[in-house]
Amino acid sequence: MSQVIDYGSLVHRLFNLDKNIRFAAVANKSGDILAKGSKPDTNLFLSPEETQETIHHAITAWKSREKHYPKIGEGLYTLAIYEKLRRATIPLPSGNLLLVTIDNAGGQQQIMEKIINEVKIHDISGTTIS
């Protein structure tokens, strides 16, 4: 039985974690989007091309951080706060990156804990049986 990660399912489960989660995407280290989605009736601020550019930037940033892991430990996530939203980038155990945008309403720490717990359950070893 082959083992694969159903990232489409992961993306859609994230929306059930908190009403403030707006958009989610999983991309590999080459920048290919493996799955993405947004809550219904969500006004996305960036075009698909701008989202792709953001993903490439996030990948480059994570690669540059990896050289410091032996001294400070592996990165858990980054959080950028903008006037209109918050954007979290979370490295997955499989080596892919999860990008999530969140409305500025709601408890930031609680939302991040929910997302991290969901990732740990479904991507802990890099594979889940589908």
Spatial CB neighbours of 77, under 8 Å, sequence gap ≥ 6: 88, 89, 90, 91, 112, 116
> Could you tell me if residue 130 is inside a domain?
no
* pLDDT 10s digits, 45-96: 999 999 999 999 999 998 898 899 999 998 889 999 999 999 999 998 888 9
Q: Which domain holds residue 74?
A: 7-12+25-123
Has residue 80 been placed in a domain? yes
Instruction: Please list, in sequence order, all residues whose beta carbon lies within 8 angstroms of the beta carbon of residue 65, skipping any fewer than 6 positions away.
Output: 75
- Number of domains forming the structure of the chain: 1
pTM of the model: 0.83
Q: What is the pLDDT of residue 119?
A: 82
Instruction: Say which CATH number the domain at 52 has.
Output: 3.30.450.30
DSSP state of 38: E
Q: How far apart are CA 51 and CA 48, in angstroms?
A: 5
Give which of 48, 76, 49 is closest to 62, Cα–Cα.
76
